[in-house]
Amino acid sequence: MAANRWLATGNFFTTYQEEQRTFITSLDRLIFSLFLIVLFIWPIFFSVSRTYMLVVDNILVAVIAVLGLNLVTGFAGLISIGHAAFMGVGAYTIASFSRILGDSHIIITHFWPLLIFIAGVAGAITGAIVGLPSLRLKHLYLAIATLSFQMIFEWAIKFLTFFNQGQTISVGRVVWFTGEVGRNDHYIFWYYVALVIIVLFGFVVSNLFKTRYGRALVAVRDNDRAADAMGMHPGFTKVYAFALSGFLAGVAGAVHAFLYKGAGIESFTLHHSITYLAMAIVGGLGTLNGSFWGPAAIEILNLQVEKFSEYAGNYLPSAMNLATALRPFTFGLVIVLFLMFEPRGIANWWRIAKSYTKTWPFRY
């Protein structure tokens, strides 16, 4: 390690522990801390409309979900196209409490952090069960198994009267130290909750890869037979990857249920599973920061394309439905072009930017 802890120009590690540090230099730590502070204080200084706050909240919920998806698909190499269903398990765990106790029962309004944790556990258990076929299946075959779970989940929710046959089950407003979180503070409040969860799990996932359990995920992804020969347990690793992923999805689903004050099947369909997968790919599969970039990019792109097609609608002939077609066409085109020219995702841009600044002020 360079003597100067503030400006390490290049990789000069002398011990394994040094290489494993979360922050290579003090400058990294300072920048990250400042960034974190900005994330926490910007809503105090800037007034954002409820619409945009909801968009930001949606991004954060998607970040939690994609963090989980990246664990199982990006790091462990197990394709999951049932991730929205895992989120649904979390959301419907909250909805079940609401259904049984009433949507404004004290357990829902006051003990919501506990409920979010329980929803995560429910997601983890479901993930572990759904992950069992991964002991025998790989690649596309495993993808089909997770797709089956998505189908079974949707069918079960739509047909069971306990789950209101897919109609929204209402979840009441929660209580914080300042009293009930009202309509005006609702989106800000859930912004902070989601942010705290992301910071917490961001560090957990980051540190996971410094442990043998995290490294086992990558080893199994790269070659499960070699990992087995090295003394790892590929089966256990795969199942626990699904469980971890399910936990994060369950937490995301629970936050979604509280954010939208209800759970309905329309938010946890195959379409959503594909969207989360797209977020993970666009962000950068197998990278931690890709889990943040992907959801932000897709949500913002979606919003901008929506605005663009709305604007274009003023000029295009109304009889031809061109403005209507413009939205899915533009969205699809941007994604395809992006994947063609940057298949490693936005995280790769971040890597390039970082490696360039690492040697600054020297070019080499």
Query: Which positions lie near other proteins, rule CB under 8 A?
Result: 49-51, 54-55, 58, 158-159, 165-168, 170, 183, 260-262, 264, 266-267, 271, 306, 309-310, 317-319, 321, 324-325, 327-328
Q: In angstroms, what is the minimal distance from the CB of 167 to other proteins?
A: 4
Q: Which CB atom, from 57 or from 224, has the smaller least distance to other proteins? A: 57
Q: In angstroms, what is the minimal distance from the CB of 340 to other proteins?
A: 25
Q: Which CB atom, from 55 or from 128, has the smaller least distance to other proteins? A: 55
Q: In angstroms, what is the minimal distance from the CB of 109 to other proteins?
A: 15
Q: In angstroms, what is the minimal distance from the CB of 317 to other proteins?
A: 7
Q: In angstroms, what is the minimal distance from the CB of 129 to other proteins?
A: 25
Q: In angstroms, what is the minimal distance from the CB of 168 to other proteins?
A: 4
Q: Which CB atom, from 166 or from 246, has the smaller least distance to other proteins? A: 166
Q: Which CB atom, from 6 or from 52, has the smaller least distance to other proteins? A: 52
Q: Which CB atom, from 198 or from 257, has the smaller least distance to other proteins? A: 257
Three-state SS string over the chain comes to CCCCCCCCCCCCCCCHHHHCCCCCCHHHHHHHHHHHHHHHHHHHHCCCCHHHHHHHHHHHHHHHHHHHHHHHHHHCCCCCCCHHHHHHHHHHHHHHHHHHHCCCCHHHHHCHHHHHHHHHHHHHHHHHHHHHHHHCCCHHHHHHHHHHHHHHHHHHHHHCHHHHHHCCEECCCCEECCEECCCCCHHHHHHHHHHHHHHHHHHHHHHHCCCHHHHHHHHHHHCHHHHHHCCCCHHHHHHHHHHHHHHHHHHHHHHHHHHCCEECHHHCCHHHHHHHHHHHHHHCCCCCCHHHHHHHHHHHHHHHHHHHHHHHCCCCCHHHCHHHHHHHHHHHHHHHHHHHHCCCCHHHHHHHHHHHHHCCCCCC
Q: Which CB atom, from 53 or from 339, has the smaller least distance to other proteins? A: 53
Q: Which CB atom, from 62 or from 346, has the smaller least distance to other proteins? A: 62
Q: In angstroms, what is the minimal distance from the CB of 113 to other proteins?
A: 23
